[in-house]
Amino acid sequence: MPAPPQQPALKNTPGSKGSDGYAARTGAAAAAGAAAAAGAGAAGAARAGAAPLDPGDLADLRSPHDPNAPRDLFGPNADDGTAFVPEPSEGDRHVERIPRLSLMMGWWSLVSAMFYIYIAALVASIVGVTNAVIGMVLTVITYGAINKVLSTYAIRTGFTVELFSRVIFGKVGSALATLVFAATALYYGVFEGSIIAATLEAYTRDSLGWSINIWYLVVVLYSTPLVFGGVRNWLDRLNGILLPLYLVGLFAAVIVAAVKGSPAGWTGFGGQTGIPFASGGPGWLLAFGIYMGVWILMMYTMDFARLGRRSDTAYHGTVTFGWVFYSLTFLGNGLVGIFLSHALREHVGATVTEGGVAVALTQVMGIAAVALVWISQTRINTANYYLASVNLESFASHVLRVRAPRAVWVVVGSVVMYLLMLTNVFSYLLKALSWQGVLVTSWVAIALVHIWMDRRDGVDPDRLVTDLARIRTVSLPGVVASLVATVAGLTVITAAPPWATTWGPILTAALAAALYAVLRTVTGIRNSLASA
């Protein structure tokens, strides 16, 4: 999944106190690279009934050039045009914003995952092409709308998932969100890396004869150094170059499959029998429920969008993170996946698998297919490796009190991924991701309700503070709502009734949203700020 651009080391501006003083003054001494867990407090919303902003908070918002001038929260690209550039920390909301295209190319590394080709074919094999397409269209609409809200909020506030989670859940929730985020990125890295290894092993089986474990190691060794520099320094350019190559390769795959395969009747691919309501039907709703399992993309959105410029808010909400992106990612890739799985069914086999689609392509396209798989999986895995490293760094620094450069955590994450690859990854990975998906679904639902209620109550998100010393360990509305909804969702998954795939994530989201709204209203606790 995607990798937010790394903050470059910025020089101190005149009058600033340096990075140490800045961190101490703002309470933002979070590890550089923290990408997944929290935000804090609602100081400054006196008109909404929250505690007024105290002089210490006001001091944090001053410019070092002029104590009476508003501090530039958004670096050199801020709306007020001031020259102040804060000392950066990826656990800090004060970040330098990056150009529109650079952010877009970093995020659009997600477009090329073979997972989207595979999941559409799998869904169509269960519910039929028509129902699968309806489900994908509904998914595009839903993802586009939700990520427009989250990206707009992140651009305005500079919040990462970590900082925002501090606001909603307190310190405990922040740590948990970071851990879940890191584990999810690791799992996706293992999953997508295994596809490259399986493809290379299948293509070179007769010539080299290397075992799959050696190819796992090769994939990890070449992927690791790619993310040392971060997206700003390298990955946005890499992904910008590889994106058109991926699109050309995908088009070529369709042409070859149409010529060498058996494409006739592909619109009739998959299950044609109606799915009853008791079994999770109708089919289009089941398809929609399956795609809810990838709501982790909502969390990724915040960590990327916080680096966008305010002047680009509308563009990012529509194109970079909105319906344009998801039309290509889900609908475009999905239709290609359905077509390839049908046209190459003699090579894919009776059961649709992600590895099966990739290997089938190598059998009809040869080295060109290997290149396509390498391009697609390398693009997505740069994101997985990056996000795993920044969240491991955040969790270690905040919870374990272990501080080390991000490059160290890149290596740690790579070692963990390789060890996981040595197991039978495809047998358990999707189950693990479904469990994490429950946690993510509840987080997204609560985040949306929180943003809506803050807007309704007139809370100014620019005035929220994220100082760990000033927030509660636990913020009851968020923690209780998330805990209850997660337990309910996991219970459904464990019991595995026929309707679990469809209604499990939907019920989890609805329960989390409703409980948070009720508990926040009843308790009067709007956020985790201790004085709120």
- Domain locations along the chain: 100-523
Which of 24-28, 291-295, 426-430, 445-449 has the least mean pLDDT?
24-28
Most confident of 261-270, 283-292, 435-444: 283-292
Residue 254 clears pLDDT 70, i.e. is over it? yes
CATH among 1.10.4160.10, 3.10.290.10, 3.40.50.300, 1.20.210.10 for 100-523 = 1.10.4160.10
Phi/psi at 520 (nearest 5 deg)? -65, -40
Spell out the residues 6+ positions from residue 280 whose beta carbon is closer than 8 angstroms to its own: 286, 289, 498, 499, 500, 501, 502, 503
Burial of 368 from C-beta contacts in 10 A (0-12 / 13-18 / 19+):
middle
Beta bridge partners of 98: 308
Residue 50 clears pLDDT 90, i.e. is over it? no
Which tens digits make up the pLDDT trace of 155-186? Answer: 998 888 888 888 899 888 778 888 888 888 88
Helix, strand, coil % in the chain, rounded to nearest 5: 70, 0, 30
Residue 80 clears pLDDT 60, i.e. is over it? no
Which of 230-234, 248-252, 440-444, 478-482 has the least mean pLDDT?
230-234
Burial of 279 from C-beta contacts in 10 A (0-12 / 13-18 / 19+):
middle
Cα gap 97→444, rounded to integer Å: 24
The pLDDT of residue 236 is 65
Peptide bond before 99: cis, by omega within 30 degrees of 0?
no
Instruction: Report the interhelical angle of 161-204 vs 212-223 (nearest 10°).
Output: 140
CA 130 vs. chain centroid, Å, equals 28
Whether this prediction's pTM lies above 0.85 is answered by no
Residue 202 clears pLDDT 50, i.e. is over it? yes
Could you tell me if 528 and 162 are in contact, meaning their C-beta atoms sit under 8 angstroms apart?
Answer: no
Average pLDDT of span 412-433:
79
Burial of 161 from C-beta contacts in 10 A (0-12 / 13-18 / 19+):
buried
Could you tell me if 231 and 3 are in contact, meaning their C-beta atoms sit under 8 angstroms apart?
Answer: yes
The pLDDT of residue 477 is 93
pLDDT confidence tier of residue 146, bands split at 50, 70 and 90: very high
Of 423 and 531, which is predicted with more confidence?
423
Of 62 and 300, which is predicted with more confidence?
300
